Chain A
Amino acid sequence: MPVFDLAATPLRALNQALHGVAPGANDTEFEVLNPRGQHAVAVGIDGPVTVTVRGPVGYYCAGMNDGGTVTVQGSAGPGVAENMMSGTVVIEGDASQYAGATGRGGLLVIKGNAASRCGISMKGIDIVVHGSIGHMSAFMGQSGSLVVLGDAGEALGDSLYEAKLFVRGSVKSLGADCIEKPMRPEHRAHLAALLDRAGVADVRPEEFRRYGSARKLYSFNIDNADAY
């Protein structure tokens, strides 16, 4: 298994190696030591590689991941897994702002808390946060699911499109056009599958509330001017 010690090896060498893995290659497991908060660790992965990062990372770790499995044994800075296309990213610590922003697919699991704007402009990514999330999360969320086992901050789901939000704890406030919706059997099944994929075994879908778009702001209407 290739090991990259970022205390001794440039980040460029790591990312180049990850990009250079040929389809069907056998040596697809990587270990990264001493990331020490560096930005853009393991970005642009384009295949089924597995990367274990032992320590905290800076901005945009696993950005645009497409098919890889990245585990960070530490905390992540802003923009972790931004615009992820597919694959899995697991943060064993906390994540900073805009985790999973604009993600179009794949699964992001944050075992700690996530700061503000988690899932902002999400476009198909699924995000499971074991802890709590900050304000303005899922702002303009288009599709995909955001699951929060803890609490959500202010203005959850502001200007939401079709993203599905599930929160187990309290929600400080809902953003414009975001409403609580009933949990029907299909939603519980969807949530149960997500929890299972994220390795969450000790909570039940019935413990969550579902939030989504009221769809009142989908087309401009001057009578809704107070909401803009």
Chain B
Amino acid sequence: MSQEGIKHEMPEQDPIERINNFDEVALGYDEETAIKEAKRCLQCSNPKCKAGCPVEVDIPGFIQLVAEGKFEEAAKKVKEKNNLPAICGRVCPQEDQCEAECVVGIKDEPVAIGRLERFVADYTSDNEEAKEIQQDQGKVAVVGAGPSGLTAAADLAKMGYQVTIFEAFHKPGGVLTYGIPEFRLPKEVVKREVAKIKELGVEIKLNQVIGKIKGVDELFEEGYDAVFVGTGAGLPKFLGLEGENLNGVYSANEFLTRVNLMKAYKFPEYKTPVYVGDKVAVVGGGNVAMDAARTALRLGAEESIIVYRRGRKEMPAREEEIHHAQQEGVQFELLNNPTKILGDEDGFVTGMECIRMELGEPDDSGRRRPIPIEGSEFRIDVDTVIMAIGQSPNPILINDTSKLETTDWGTIITDEETGETTKAGVFAGGDVVTGAATVIEAMGAGKKAARSIAEYIDNR
């Protein structure tokens, strides 16, 4: 086995081409490359990579099968633990998780675990037999069809529980559907993975806002033995700046929901409009900001500028996403913070005032704190501003549910090991507990909760 060197490249759409379409950027390995990459794995007896995976995928196990060309079996191995492999293979921050731990990475580049996961998940997309499982262990309601809810539901169904998911939107997937753009995660892939979860016997009820159409207590009255809350972090933050309600200022949630869920990029065939001017500023430095900035370019903006208050090193976005954004021509105004949004008399955005920042001592997050440089205000001319500065949990369900305690940040308090909340029979996980985090962490939380829900029901 050749373990030296760098990981095998994954073919991608040319940046010049791809900013004109919403097709997927990364194209995936072919069989030959997948086998070659799999052979870079050392098959460690004490695999560090596995410990770095929140859902405990048997990484060397599945990679070995890929190396042997046994792709079907490799996929089965992954799916023992991961209910959404085609999604994780695309959007997980592997560089901070499994790949960060891979021993090959000490000397060379780590094994491309994520790309291999994507390869096996896509390879087996169609030919799979659904197996009948008896669902007589008890009834569980899952609120929210995002990665945490879908994972909890799938695991519970596999264990023989009868599961119903209640979802506020008209499509399942949560952020995977309304937030992450098509060019990074095709909605067909999400649909496919959700269909498999339905095949396990999970029922998904759409257009149901729990806390409005019915409360958590009513779910118990209807005969559910336990409730899992995976309602995510769907409350956009704004900076409270002058001019923030001008026409042309969006939260990233609104901008991306119009484009992804409502397909505004196909306007006017699809009837939901979205406004993108010539020059767009996106405030923030995470994945959400990258997605918004890259989407704006695809919608026809001439310039798309990331305005971020810290430096390149401190940006929380995945390395690959920053790189892709740069390739596509997104500009970066680092160490800058907006102070005011400027508009014309009709209420439309005409510009943004920013102040330059410098980095001071590290703060609680361990990152160096940005400090404004007095008198350094300057103006950029833009006609659209997208705020991508974070989300907190959506309070509709929480406010409607008695005895469900939350932190000062509005996140639900849970036992870290079990996902139990302060209310009997109610479990929670994902962004609604951690604040905006990652797909795989949300899935990990769903998995843990499924286990403790089963235990809770069996012990009653």
Do A and B originate from a single complex?
no
Chain A interface residues (CB < 8 Å from chain B): none
